[in-house]
Structure 1
Amino acid sequence: MKKIISIIVVSIIAFSACKKEDFLDRFPQDSISEPTYFKNENDLKLFLNQFYDSLPAQNPGFQSAYNDFNSDNFAQAKIDQFLANQLTIPASGGGWTQTTWSAIRNVNYFLQRYNKAEADNTIKGYYAGEAHFFRAILYWQKVKLFGAVPWLSNDLTDTSTAQLYGPRQPHTVVMDSILADLNFAVANVAEATNTQFAGRVTKDVAQALKARICLWEGTYRRYWALGGEQSWLREAATASEALINSGRYAIYKTGNPSTDYYNLFIQEELKGNKEAILARRYIKDVNMQNTTRDISNVWPALSKNFVRSFLCTDGLPTSLSPLYKGDDSLDQEQLNRDPRFTQIIATRGFSFKNNADGSKDLMTLPRIPSIVTGYGAVKAYSPDPAQWNSNQSTLDLFIFRYAETLLIYAEAKAELGEADQTVIDNTINKIRDRVGMTPMVVGSLVKDPRSDFPGVPVLLDEIRRERRIELVGEGFRYDDLVRWKAGKLLENPETILGMKLVPAIRAQYPAAQISSIQVDANNYIRVYTDITARTWYDKLYLRPLPIDQLTLNPALAPQNPGW
């Protein structure tokens, strides 16, 4: 007992000797806190690293390589619930949760504290520019989902009542703030030539994002009659032109027009590829992804409407070209078409798997019903079995690709009425040259009688077609339909049809394999047998706010239109 008492006494004396600030009020050693963080450049860099996973691209951590499933480009076996108007207002979640807003709060937390770091002001400016870049992209994603949202420029706490329970700001107001962030990023982040910042957000990456967002907003304001579109379109053209004039980027090609486009998306190393403005790199046993396996598990099935949009090799649409051979078979349909046809769609001779013994799993007939439309998209799919293992693919993925920048410049200039032959030669024709496609000649363009955009000038119509083909599967199509206010295109019956399955072709399959496949009166595969066309509802241009958020904060009302 005496020993126990002695130990207690000694402990009390020792505890009393500890200063309060040395122990009881010590800041956490295992988490970020103001007095222990933002001390130097490395702290700034490490804090911002958390936002790189949010970059939109063919990035499995953020979105599928084939997130065009919610557009007219694809018709999957499982109907898209959103486009089918089967979604209801969520009780909670739905893209508006603490988790989805926490990234914006973390950016604001950084911006209010980064200046404390002991570093050169220029260096601190680089990282501040990165933060503004990420806030711009995070807020843009919110605007695309919900339209009007609250704009928060500081990190709120549970005492920030006025802002926590404040109203939404109008779409145009939030987008103006996003543009301010983009301009700050372009002005402050490191130059692309600064090797210390290789792989991070540089001035070129900021210009690429600015071009993307400004084109979206400029056309949105035009086609939704919001006004002010000219300045946004000018910003899009200026940002993309800066990248073009830098001379640092080019369309990837090796002199093999029949394979270069396909091979671009199955490369294990995009470092040094001049088409990559920014890429996500994957390294064996360090950081790997699952794209090829995802594709082989649920084959992306392209719609008849998308496939019909490929031009013929004379540069004319199928409705006008004498080279078009019809579509009674996929073999026939691919003849005399844009060479990207056979680099995007699995056609006869495509290798699904290159075996170690040198043999190959080659396609003969379209693989229906596993590919429900018969048009199997093979972009970003590798026949190398090493890429098929679950979450072990080492293929790099694009985040910002130069071809998109060229398409942005062409479209912005066309919307401004300034797209002459020189513009087209420096943009669309650079892209076409990769695959040996006939160049676009502005003065020779003829309006497609089957155009999805009959009221749009022929040049702009063809630029939109080029964008649809070149960027298919990269996550842009639904956003494009929204900014053009073109949701009605999803009502085209061809957006849920597949290839033509005439009796002569059907007879080449085992009867049991295709017994469940139904066709329409013209022998096109019907993907959804209970409907002949989708119905578009304008409310689908935006997502609904969840019920719990409107209950907690009535100032967020009204609910988005139609919900």
Structure 2
Amino acid sequence: MKKHKIIIYAILALGLSACNDSYLERYPLSELAPENYFLTAAELENYTNAFYAELPDALAIHYNTPNQADDEARSTIASEIQGTRTTPSSGGGWAWEELRQINFFLQNSHKCTDEAARLRYDGIARFFRAYFYFEKVVRFGDVPWYDTVLELDDEGLTKARDSRKFVFEKMLEDIDFAIANAPQTKSGQRVTKWTALAFKSRMCLFEGTFRKYHGLGDWEPILQQAAAASEELMNSGIYKIYTSDPTKAYQELFIAEDAILDEIILSRQYDASVPLVHSANFYILSASYGRPGMQKSLVDSYLMADGSRFTDKPNYQTMSFYEETQNRDPRLAQTIRTPGYKRIGQSTTSVPDFATSVTGYQFIKYVLAPSYDAGQSTNDMPIFRYAETLLNYAEAKAELGTINQADLDRSVNLLRRRVEMPDMNLLAANANPDVYLKTEYPNATAGAQQGVILEIRRERRIELVKEGLRYRDLLRWKEGGRLAKPFYGMYFPGVGEYDLDNDSKIDLVIYEGTSPTRLQGVQYQKLGELVLENGTKGGRIINLPDIIKKWDENKDYYYPIPTQELQLNPQLKQNPHWEDTGI
């Protein structure tokens, strides 16, 4: 049973959010007259509760954003991954109604004579304004900055875009105000000072590394702020890395009915009694909704349990599923089905199901018992967790060239110790950078810190898989070209019978031509429907072999501005190289 009061969704029924699709529209004042509202702390709280709808829901966190980039493959892929985006006539993320609500609040909150309450809720509102603009800057780069409510005849409606650096400075002012004034009481459902610090850590890491790898300059002060915000949260002692049985602790974070507040800073809360549920089980395990599977490049990135590199092993690319999953970082077996896996609520072991996973590497992160399979999941969804903040700290310090072993010990190594993995060693990482990771991230900074930068990227990918952050990581590192590569799954030497979990029973038959006589408990995949990269000679499963994915380094790091907006405001200019795309 849920222990906490539901707040994030129930407020949507209050009708406080504007129903308009454009910043040009007026707020529906007939629903809320400002002269009669914003007078008490309760009214400030009720209004700011509506802002929580801006945060990602379960579907965005575990399934979209977009399509979890190069960590997983599916039977259908987003246009960002396929390289088929075109300029829309409207929509396309260029929406401003949420900002108008925030600015409307900030222009009227002074009517409340309770100064402490006003500062508290102004802090929450300014957190959400920084969050709103972060989404816009990530998507479009330069965007117009608005901090007042505009009327229909306001000249600001036709202003040009402000530079991302100007907008980011304003975002920093907002988030620093939130840090100074938001509540300090720990909460898994409400924005607090600690949420604001976690978000500042995230937004500054993104902006600092984006500027560094895209050659925009002025990146060092931003990464210094990322490290400082992370460190302030770390020094507070409010959060810690959740630990229990090392073979279960990582998975437990994502299947918990109530968010584990040792580590979860902010989450989406779900409760069947409201009813408020999500569909993680259905989306991950359904044969009709994408059939997501982990990509082999991510499987290959997990270290061995003794800390050595899997990709240093001879013939690692052609190992059987059973062989490649033995003695690995325990997080692998807590993220996908590996030999010996028992689903929650079941006593028998289960092998990967190729009917519901295109790569064979089947996710278990977020997956509950079978009783939740019909779109009735109620596990809370983390939005910010302390593990990310630790990784942000380590990466910012590494990119600045100031990281030391003590920094690793208080950040990345806490995550490794959760699952009893050996510590990352700074000198060893830099003395011998991983050749495999260098091919994965060819743009990574060379020099004395390259090895540790690569290892922190490994750790980030493994720890945060399926949490909605990977696509943006590739954007900020200028590694979007990874999305144009083929997406691979398990290796098989060709047609034949396969015992996936080494229990002396056949689990899978790959065949040509006519289907063999089918036996109960055995999966059958026809070669050609299951595509191996070398056909009858075997190889890795290759996902969607007939689709040629593309990535345009000149334009795909940004989204296009809708043509309708360009027509309404001639001062807006389209993002580079999007001018000649379809409408």
Same fold (TM over 0.5): yes
One-letter amino acid matched to 2:259: L
1:207, distance to aligned residue in structure 2 (A): 0.4
Q: 1:290 aligns with which of 264, 275, 279?
A: 279
Q: Describe the superposition over 1:214-263 as per-residue Cα deviations: whole angstroms up to 9, x where unpaired.
A: 11111111111111111111111111101111111111111x11111112
Q: If the length of structure 2 is used for normalisation, what is the TM-score? A: 0.84
User: Partner residue of 2:69?
Assistant: 71
Q: Residues 88 and 79 from structure 1, CA distance in 2 versus in 1: closer, same or farther, beyond 3 angstroms?
A: same
User: Partner residue of 1:17?
Assistant: none
Residue 232 (str. 1) matches residue 222 (str. 2): yes
**1:115-134 → structure 2 map (5 Å cutoff):** 115-119=110-114, 121-134=115-128
Counterpart Cα distance in 2 of 1:62 and 1:518? 29
Counterpart Cα distance in 1 of 2:45 and 2:98? 16
* Contact persistence 2:60–2:468 (CA under 8 A): no
Counterpart Cα distance in 1 of 2:484 and 2:309? 21
Q: Describe the superposition over 1:104-153 as per-residue Cα deviations: whole angstroms up to 9, x where unpaired.
A: 0100000000010132x122101001011000001110111111111111
One-letter amino acid matched to 2:552: Y
1:66, distance to aligned residue in structure 2 (A): 5.1
* Contact persistence 1:189–1:202 (CA under 8 A): yes
Q: Residues 311 and 29 from structure 1, CA distance in 2 versus in 1: closer, same or farther, beyond 3 angstroms?
A: closer
One-letter amino acid matched to 2:567: T
Q: Secondary structure at the match of 2:293?
A: coil
User: Partner residue of 2:433?
Assistant: 447
1:277, distance to aligned residue in structure 2 (A): 1.4
Q: Residues 403 and 198 from structure 1, CA distance in 2 versus in 1: closer, same or farther, beyond 3 angstroms?
A: closer
Residue 310 (str. 1) matches residue 319 (str. 2): no
Q: Residues 487 and 134 from structure 1, CA distance in 2 versus in 1: closer, same or farther, beyond 3 angstroms?
A: same
**1:410-425 → structure 2 map (5 Å cutoff):** 410-425=394-409
User: Partner residue of 1:11?
Assistant: none
Counterpart Cα distance in 2 of 1:148 and 1:295? 36
Counterpart Cα distance in 2 of 1:305 and 1:443? 26
Residue 487 (str. 1) matches residue 472 (str. 2): no
Q: 1:368 aligns with which of 354, 358, 361?
A: 354
Q: Secondary structure at the match of 1:518?
A: coil
1:326, distance to aligned residue in structure 2 (A): 5.8
1:63, distance to aligned residue in structure 2 (A): 4.6
Q: 1:462 aligns with which of 450, 455, 459?
A: 455
User: Partner residue of 1:212?
Assistant: 202
Counterpart Cα distance in 1 of 2:464 and 2:108? 39
Q: Residues 47 and 343 from structure 1, CA distance in 2 versus in 1: closer, same or farther, beyond 3 angstroms?
A: same
User: Partner residue of 1:9?
Assistant: none
Counterpart Cα distance in 2 of 1:219 and 1:93? 28
Residue 377 (str. 1) matches residue 363 (str. 2): yes
CA RMSD of aligned residues (A): 2.2
* Contact persistence 2:59–2:279 (CA under 8 A): no
1:93, distance to aligned residue in structure 2 (A): 1.2
* Contact persistence 1:329–1:505 (CA under 8 A): no
Q: Secondary structure at the match of 1:208?
A: helix
User: Partner residue of 1:476?
Assistant: 469
Counterpart Cα distance in 2 of 1:150 and 1:506? 60
Counterpart Cα distance in 1 of 2:561 and 2:340? 48
1:321, distance to aligned residue in structure 2 (A): 4.8
User: Partner residue of 1:343?
Assistant: 334
Which segment is superposed worse, 522-531 or 169-178?
522-531
1:374, distance to aligned residue in structure 2 (A): 0.7
* Contact persistence 1:325–1:332 (CA under 8 A): no
One-letter amino acid matched to 2:135: Q
Residue 404 (str. 1) matches residue 388 (str. 2): yes
One-letter amino acid matched to 1:159: D
* Contact persistence 1:545–1:560 (CA under 8 A): no
1:89, distance to aligned residue in structure 2 (A): 1.1
* Contact persistence 1:68–1:474 (CA under 8 A): no
User: Partner residue of 2:25?
Assistant: none
* Contact persistence 2:82–2:549 (CA under 8 A): yes
Counterpart Cα distance in 1 of 2:340 and 2:188? 40
User: Partner residue of 2:525?
Assistant: 514
Q: Residues 344 and 318 from structure 1, CA distance in 2 versus in 1: closer, same or farther, beyond 3 angstroms?
A: same
Q: Secondary structure at the match of 1:94?
A: coil
* Contact persistence 1:257–1:435 (CA under 8 A): yes
Which segment is superposed worse, 535-544 or 214-223?
535-544
Q: Secondary structure at the match of 1:67?
A: coil
Residue 147 (str. 1) matches residue 141 (str. 2): yes
Q: Secondary structure at the match of 1:131?
A: helix
Q: Residues 548 and 66 from structure 1, CA distance in 2 versus in 1: closer, same or farther, beyond 3 angstroms?
A: closer
One-letter amino acid matched to 1:107: I
One-letter amino acid matched to 1:279: S
User: Partner residue of 1:42?
Assistant: 42
Q: Secondary structure at the match of 2:384?
A: strand
1:64, distance to aligned residue in structure 2 (A): 4.2
* Contact persistence 1:146–1:544 (CA under 8 A): yes
Aligned-residue identity in percent: 37
Counterpart Cα distance in 1 of 2:116 and 2:73? 50
Q: Secondary structure at the match of 2:310?
A: coil
Q: Residues 207 and 348 from structure 1, CA distance in 2 versus in 1: closer, same or farther, beyond 3 angstroms?
A: same
Whichever of the two has the greater Rg, that structure is 1
One-letter amino acid matched to 1:267: A
Q: Describe the superposition over 1:544-563 as per-residue Cα deviations: whole angstroms up to 9, x where unpaired.
A: 11111111111111344344
1:529, distance to aligned residue in structure 2 (A): 2.1
One-letter amino acid matched to 2:39: K
